Chain A
């Protein structure tokens, strides 16, 4: 029986993952509709929104929040019931949250994908590294990732690792003087400085200019050197995909045989539309994806949707070195410092990724000095003196999937479209796996400060989150313990796929977006062969 569909595939979410998947499908000749809650906002406008913001420490501030598309920073949107106040900074506009990231684009190591069998904790991924490798290639090519082809990213100063079939599409950018000095002095203490592969091209790539150190990756790259999802939203559109903005999906309609037959969306202008497709991809980030599934009551026969929420919790260190290093020249992040990256001890405590931050430090420095009552010529002198020596190290730990750390629907609040808002339960205190790593991290901090002849400004930041949302719709090879199989295909509905970092069954210490894009491309490829 011939059925007419509105599209071959409907993708919910126009962020980096959804847009890359949609683009692949459109290139293969499939008709694609992308539904996006937010709007197209041109880059210049976001730059203006940022420059005129009185709260530069607020990464969501340049992006509008609407009663029907609430920013996670809207206090009415997320309630937290756990002992960690978790507020991820997701964005709702065409291109998604990668409008403000630092474009860290790592590949998970083969060992990262085998946490259970190797170390007895967390989960194994339902695939081999070699299954995902060609999709990492494509994702890196799509984004124009700059990386080192010689680094051992497992931090053991060995041969290049993980294995690659192709070199990075862009060679690594030049090392900042700041990074060179840190590497020189701290490296001697037994720490491995690794280049962080990043989506900030340093040569013109795919119509984007080369990064020249505007030092503002978060919250917006003013020139588009840094990759953001709108690049592939536009590519997808040019390849024939249709993007509908102001379209908040709220229901996935089930039909015969467990198939999803339609998606319903609402707009802020009161429209309520039903669209049909042969296959559906929910690529609405790790928070909104489980929200849609929960509200539609799909893919959740095992009550796992929204559970196992993992972020990269961490702490950071600020100190001043005894020599001028001049952070603020070049990109905001450049590399990682590995000592605890991979080893048997991962059965007892988390791995640690330290990342030196290269932001222009004047605001933090001046705020501190003014609070101390420093004024006049001394204020100007101290701003210069301290800014030149300011070192910020941000550290991330691996968190383990716990069923009680979860995303659920609020039972008390709804947004302007009548869709429930969110409730998180995220417990971190008392988590030994992470707390043991934190103690080791503090030792590392002591070593860093000593190596740099430094003076601590702040080493008691308390837990910080990094908006790396993982685990909420975990993939696996057993329908009883996961939400999707290795294809991103939900166990319950064979034409419903998920493409989000929420799929990741273990978190490691790496920014997960590239893995999310690789998985999404792989899923799109599978769908392209079926519809």
Chain B
């Protein structure tokens, strides 16, 4: 099954969504004027900013970001709109530290899943639900070596397939053992 990410097609769809949904949404939510201008519709830059916010990273890779955005949109046409709503709600709640996300999620139960989808795409490197024993599912590739789930342990273990060092390095525990 070919994964043909037709960005051109998405852009034109996005414009359509942006015109119809974005404008209405912005008006009804009464966002701050500056944000209202920037967040008419979810675009790649907006998605990247949102991703950085949700994952607590100052800079995420743009190519992976665009890929994640495309995958999430391909899986669910309503995703960009939901992402816009999410951004707006986060702004309104003034959420900066993700340690406070639980309260936000409780207060915005219809938006929490969108946030989790974005976080999941970045950490796990795929969207959708991968099948373990069949070769048809809705999973889409986002990243592997760039998947955030490997970052917290990269001083100790590897991204599978990439070498770490010489044969038998593993007989010793990592240097950080005492504080792990």
Interface: A428 (CB within 8 A) = no
Contact A203–B160 (Cβ < 8 Å): no
Given contacts A360-B158, A366-B124, contact A177 B130 (CB under 8 A): no
Contact B171–A175 (Cβ < 8 Å): yes
Q: Whole-angstrom distance between the alpha carbons of A174 and B171 in the complex?
A: 6
Q: Whole-angstrom distance between the alpha carbons of A233 and B57 in the complex?
A: 48
Interface: A207 (CB within 8 A) = no
Interface: B120 (CB within 8 A) = yes
The segment from B18-26, B30-38, B85-93, B149-157 that touches chain A is: B149-157
* B89-141 contacts to A (CB < 8 Å): 97-99, 101-102, 105, 112, 115-116, 119-120, 123-128, 130-137, 139-141
Q: Within the complex, which residue of A52, A75, A329, A376 is in contact with B164, where a contact is CB–CB below 8 Å?
A: A329
Q: Within the complex, which residue of A55, A373, A376 is in contact with B137, where a contact is CB–CB below 8 Å?
A: A55
Report the minimal beta-carbon distance from A414 to chain B, rounded to whole angstroms: 19
* A353-390 contacts to B (CB < 8 Å): 359-360, 362-363, 365-367, 370, 373, 375-381, 383-385, 387-388
Chain B residues within 8 Å of A211, by CB: 167
Q: Whole-angstrom distance between the alpha carbons of A177 and B156 in the complex?
A: 12
Given contacts A326-B180, A329-B169, A366-B124, contact A373 B116 (CB under 8 A): yes
Report the minimal beta-carbon distance from B178 to chain A, rounded to whole angstroms: 9
Report the minimal beta-carbon distance from B103 to chain A, rounded to whole angstroms: 12
Most A CB contacts (10 A, CB to CB) among B55, B167, B168 go to B167
Report the minimal beta-carbon distance from A284 to chain B, rounded to whole angstroms: 21
Interface: A173 (CB within 8 A) = yes
Q: Which residue of B lies closest to A70 (CB)?
A: B135
Q: Whole-angstrom distance between the alpha carbons of A175 and B167 in the complex?
A: 11
Interface: B174 (CB within 8 A) = yes
Contact B123–A366 (Cβ < 8 Å): yes
Chain B residues within 8 Å of A215, by CB: 157-158, 160-161
* A23-65 contacts to B (CB < 8 Å): 47, 50-58, 60-61, 65
Interface: A314 (CB within 8 A) = no
Given contacts A362-B153, A367-B124, contact A176 B171 (CB under 8 A): yes
Q: Whole-angstrom distance between the alpha carbons of A176 and B134 in the complex?
A: 33
Chain A residues within 8 Å of B64, by CB: none
Q: Within the complex, which residue of B102, B144, B167, B177 is in contact with A210, where a contact is CB–CB below 8 Å?
A: B167
Most B CB contacts (10 A, CB to CB) among A203, A210, A387 go to A387
Can you name 17 A-B residue pairings with CB atoms under 8 Å?
A: A47-B161, A54-B126, A55-B126, A56-B126, A58-B130, A203-B167, A212-B166, A214-B158, A324-B177, A360-B159, A362-B149, A362-B150, A375-B101, A377-B56, A378-B99, A383-B149, A385-B180
Interfacial residues, chain A to chain B (CB-CB below 8 A): 47, 50-58, 60-61, 65, 71, 73-75, 87, 89, 173-177, 180, 202-203, 210-216, 220, 222-223, 324, 326-330, 359-360, 362-363, 365-367, 370, 373, 375-381, 383-385, 387-388
Interfacial residues, chain B to chain A (CB-CB below 8 A): 54-56, 97-99, 101-102, 105, 112, 115-116, 119-120, 123-128, 130-137, 139-142, 144-145, 148-153, 156-174, 177, 180
Besides A58-B131, A377-B98, 10 other A-B contacts (C-beta < 8 A): A52-B141, A54-B125, A54-B139, A73-B134, A75-B135, A174-B171, A223-B163, A326-B157, A328-B156, A376-B55
